């Protein structure tokens, strides 16, 4: 769907030749084992799962406001794991019975949870549910309000994920972590949790396959002027719709990982990297991670973990292709009416929903060449 302004979102379809086959009518005639392999291939996609950990009393208060009772199977719950309801919906599970069986087998870890409505709702609703998780492909990202009880319960949840929920007792293998959560973990008194939880958490960190350090970017007014987009000096409005190269985080969890952003992003990348090399730059969060591993006595020399800086426009936007286009269109018309948009670059680069991934060494010292540090593009699976 093209936007009303003539600007389209960059999607995985832009990487696919126009003449490629979009349908395969003989799929039902394939042997069952081949069909299962196809379903598995389609499901084998990484996801960023935005997770909230609440103390028990917060859910009790919300249920009281909803005039609902806590179900018996959740009566002994000490903390509550919350997922946004849209994250629990996998489109392949709605194709047919065979796809549903394949999806259930692929997401082998059932997590008892509370499903909630989008965070922009004034009064979110909660209902009990099950979230199906695959440790090999899914990244947990703790979001939302974080106090000491939240950090405590995050450690307990990661322990329970391995020892209770996962039938193979693998647990967490991929993690996306931001500075507030990491700072809370560094300040946590693990001795108060007991040796079992502290040891379990340290073992989990030592076995992680990949860690994304979440570092949202806010383009300052100075840089926006350098980008050729004149800004109302009194507005203080810093918006990604004026910097289309920087990916926008989407609400959908699935993403396609492109190991080189194929868009012509040179112009904006230089300014964005300059912004990220400011006084508070991603080296802060990587140093904090090292302190956490040291605190837990994790042998960092033997680690096989891959690390990336994950950066994007701060707040998530867009649940699907249509809502993402509507968000972009509404912003474009607002700026056009106010006369704040320069048309010089509107067609040079398509905006992307997802995030960038940089290697850690990029922020150890400043590089003047953006070509040397071109980012990966994790493209949200909008549909």
pLDDT in tens, 179-234: 999 999 999 999 999 999 999 999 999 999 999 999 988 765 554 444 444 333 33
Q: Residue 133 carries which DSSP code?
A: E
- 58: tokens are 């917060």
Contact 251, 86 (CB under 8 A): yes
At residue 329, the pLDDT reads 76
Strand spans (E) along 87-222: 109-116, 126-133, 138-142, 174-178, 210-214
Contact 2, 9 (CB under 8 A): no
Best CA proximity match to 323, nearest among 125, 118, 124 = 118
Weakest mean pLDDT among 81-85, 117-121, 220-224, 330-334: 220-224
Residues 6+ apart with CB under 8 A from 81: 51, 52, 53, 111, 112, 113, 114, 131, 157
122 pLDDT band (50/70/90 cuts)? low
The Cβ of residue 49 has, within 10 Å, a number of other Cβ atoms equal to 20
Residue 300 burial (C-beta neighbours within 10 Å; 0-12, 13-18, 19+): exposed
* pTM for this predicted structure: 0.87
336 pLDDT band (50/70/90 cuts)? very low
């Amino acid at each position: 769907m093209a936007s009303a302004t003539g600007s389209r979102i960059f999607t995985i379809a832009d990487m696919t030749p126009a003449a490629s086959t979009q349908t395969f009518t003989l799929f039902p005639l394939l042997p069952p084992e081949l069909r299962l392999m196809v379903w598995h291939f389609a499901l084998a996609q990484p996801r960023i799962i935005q997770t909230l950990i609440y103390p028990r009393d917060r859910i009790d208060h919300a249920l009281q406001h909803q005039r609902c009772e806590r179900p018996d199977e959740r009566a002994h719950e000490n903390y509550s794991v919350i997922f946004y309801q849209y994250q629990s919906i996998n489109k392949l599970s709605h194709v047919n019975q065979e796809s549903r069986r394949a999806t259930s087998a692929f997401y082998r870890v059932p997590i008892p949870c509370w499903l909630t409505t989008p965070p922009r709702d004034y009064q979110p609703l909660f209902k009990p549910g099950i979230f199906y998780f695959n440790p090999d492909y899914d990244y947990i990202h703790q979001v939302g309000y974080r106090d000491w009880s939240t950090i405590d319960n995050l450690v307990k949840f990661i322990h329970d994920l391995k020892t209770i929920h996962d039938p193979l007792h693998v647990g967490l293998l991929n993690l996306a972590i931001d500075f507030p959560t990491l700072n809370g973990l560094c300040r946590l008194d693990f001795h108060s949790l007991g040796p079992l939880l502290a040891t379990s958490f340290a073992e989990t960190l030592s076995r992680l396959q990949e860690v994304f350090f979440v570092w949202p970017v806010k383009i300052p007014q100075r840089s926006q002027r350098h980008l050729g987009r004149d800004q109302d000096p009194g507005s203080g409005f810093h918006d990604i719709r004026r910097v289309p190269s920087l990916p926008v985080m989407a609400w959908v969890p699935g993403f396609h990982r492109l190991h080189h952003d194929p868009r012509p992003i040179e112009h904006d990348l230089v300014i964005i990297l300059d912004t990220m090399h400011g006084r508070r730059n991603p080296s802060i969060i990587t140093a904090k991670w090292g302190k956490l591993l040291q605190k837990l006595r994790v042998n960092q020399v033997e680690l096989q973990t891959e690390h990336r800086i994950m950066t994007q426009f701060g707040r998530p936007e867009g649940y699907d292709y249509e809502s993402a286009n509507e968000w972009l269109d509404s912003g474009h018309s607002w700026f056009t009416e106010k006369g704040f948009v320069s048309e010089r670059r509107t067609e040079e680069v398509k905006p992307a929903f997802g995030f960038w991934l940089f290697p850690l060494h990029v922020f150890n010292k400043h590089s003047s060449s953006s070509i040397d540090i071109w980012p990966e593009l994790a493209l949200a699976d909008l549909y």
